[in-house]
Structure 1
């Protein structure tokens, strides 16, 4: 029986720039760096060290070479936040590309993108 979602794999063209984005601009913590063949590495990040789920960022070139059967599509991720308004404003001030902040009856949502132009969503439940 599956107990929880442990990691989400994110395959990117510019691994170093994407890791920097998530850690320096979004505020995630770097949990681990693992060496892979031919000088490649994977980098595990999460909102905080105690997070149940983390993102593991891989270079697409590594995946193409070592796991060519794996889809390189970006997963559709929705992050839960306590204050969408504050995060939205913070992202805008940092120059992060964000979509419109939309208020719905039970939630506020917006999307943002990383340097590889992968889009992710943020939701605050009201």
Structure 2
């Protein structure tokens, strides 16, 4: 293997998830793909040239076509160079899970999306 290319995220409301990542987190939609039964996949990333992206799938699609796959949300840690600004923005929107915590590796905080999934951000050093 060479690198982690994509992370597949299974969501209850795909449109709501896409809007959260675009509007709140400033991600870009890299592509959309048509799937059976009117479902679609949506690839998003922090920028067009980012090596790793998310592909958002509706949980109903995964349940139907890949029932053996776990629908649990992975625990993801992001790095951010605009750490304090991002924290304040998410805090103002009521999306932070706690205050900033000092860890040996750097400062960290949690945030949640509009579907209650939690993620973490670490200050880029």
Q: TM-score range by the shorter chain?
A: over 0.9
Gaps of 5+ in 2: none
Segment of structure 1 superposing worse, 14-23 or 99-108: 99-108
Note the aligned Cα RMSD (angstroms): 1.2
Q: Which residue of 2 aligns with 1:19?
A: 18
- Give the secondary-structure state (helix, strand or coil) at the position aligned to 2:85: helix
TM-score between both structures, scaled by the size of structure 2 = 0.94
Kindly report structure 1 stretches of 4+ aligned residues shifted beyond 3 Å. Answer: none
Whether contact under 8 Å (2:8, 2:54) holds in the other structure is yes
TM-score between both structures, scaled by the size of structure 1 = 0.93
Gaps of 5+ in 1: none
Whether contact under 8 Å (1:106, 1:125) holds in the other structure is no
Shift of 1:106: 3.9
Q: Which residue of 2 aligns with 1:45?
A: 44
Whether contact under 8 Å (1:32, 1:45) holds in the other structure is yes
Cα offsets for 1:15-47 (capped at 9, x unmatched): 100100000111000000101001000100000
Shift of 1:105: 4.4
Segment of structure 1 superposing worse, 31-40 or 82-91: 82-91
Q: Does 1:107 align with 2:106?
A: yes
- What is the total number of aligned residue pairs between the two structures? 124
